[in-house]
A and B are shown apart, each in its own frame.
Chain A
């Protein structure tokens, strides 16, 4: 518990913030309590529960062994229509007409198609305009709705919590379990509230908010909790921004992130293909309107942040918690008292090829990636395009990839002329998929290359063997592509 009992913290940029814990004993329910209680099928003696799963999303990487298990045991899906599949991790983002060049990737994508056909599951294949990153596609289609339990064999399933759905990533055994029984055995997590009070300053986006949170509470800060994000700065965010925040709840260690349902949520779901229609819609809205924590709800832990103190963020290390405001300098391991942390910093600096004391704005970039389930929605693409301001990418930057989250987002962006802005700046405009977020397809970093990336993980080798990832917002990524190094977008904005 890194921050338990700490009443006051000085954060690294020197701005005081006051995270505190509050113990209350009142009777109200949190949003998480409500969603949980609504889905309990059965409770075991030891407190573990059989939870009903409303929606399962499937993709090609974590499903083949689950389908195999179904076949071996002769089981059929419990409710076939509750599953929706899309290939995203391995799909190429260019030259699709030629199919997938890598035979191993091709087999995995083909296996998903075959499995979906055999079990009768709807799949959006590569040729389908609705194809895209599974966590972008779910809300876009109205396939993941407020009040649902949503699972997927992918840790960033937490994204869907932005719609007041209880959504979390699961392993392949659980994918098979959910397919076969429409339930999962789960233990209830504890309740955490992260409140971001006040208004963010210029150039500060949802991505910066969530990176700043992780920088402070650490990658294990939310372990064992479901985190509800609240406060004015969260309410202010669009649905896209809220998805960015919940997407990275897992990077703070929490399997699920949540944001209360409000008018923005309801408006977002109006007329989506899988959204309820007619009288069902009215009934659903009446239910959705209750999807918020009661005023007297009890949280096990509350942490507050001051939105105005958050600056544009850049990660410098090999864990998302190794993140700093853009105007800061790389930390010095000799200043760290904790030996485990000291060693982590040393190792990270070595891997990243950075020096203690070096300014973040002096980090030179080789590549830039704008995409992933964190930041590939229309608002993200608009923000990236706006940061270009008629300029071109720096000559020192070898490649800038812009990868929309879905075919429909790509279409929308093209209708708005964003593709032309990117292409005029010498950015590459690609087909939807996970792409360089995890480099399972052909898009990847070479050893030693520094990349400004709008994705969510900066682990060693994540974007390619030896690659060096810096997590940032779309506006920061685009501005860095133009300058060839990080720039303070708060000053530009």
Chain B
């Protein structure tokens, strides 16, 4: 009976009581982590022989110097918003949806498929685009469901399932781009034949930014926030994430909720893929997900699974990404510098969080919840 499936492995153990109120001390600690991350990156820059301060100035300029820059940041913001909102749902249910990357890809693939299928019909273009986006959502959700089913019924840990499915998704895109969907003549890494302009989302002022996708991203984040904080579905997802056995005994249909979390996350990831195709690239390209899925997972960890922080943190990451594009030209630095900074940031935030928990177990009048397995004594008669 699937109701007796093994417990889902939990994300970071501390996620268990991440639903409390964030205090000012926490904020102070997080800013400390930010400073440390910049320090570490500066050291790396110095070692590489580049002036750190100038590099940061260049990043800031690259992200906000012109309307184009700002709109590019927003363009990168949308898929990040969607991916991180999605992983929050799976995190809440205690699941590491590593497969989010592949779910973005599948969203893009299905969107492309529907666009290709319908582009020569006489249907109104707007209708085709809407259908294509829905197909993208479905594609992402199904790909996630696959990871979920592998886990629930096949006993495959979602991390391994997700990783495998990511590879399959990448292979699938490459095959499509160089095989059945290749451009007339030769297939190339630049992707499939671009769709006509009317089959894309309308953009603002000649930039790649579409208010539609921006709206979708923001609505998704708000919806996830409301879902997790204000609804019974969210509460049950958290219950499943925190203690699956007890949730089941208290009457929560656990595997169904785990699957639901996958579906929701996959749907949002698929939407991200659909937006990349219809709003940004207007075709399927080999690296359509651009690592936004993994970045979304990082953001999820960084913000300690609190939906309210998705928007600003994702914006910061988007700005870093776009801002550092100019680095190779100006400072002869690799643009992956933003990756270093982001990685350092996540590491330091997790480190500071670990330290905070250690500290708070000591500090007077702080909650000593101590559910981190093995670090706190069970209650006297807790278990026999």
A and B physically associate = no
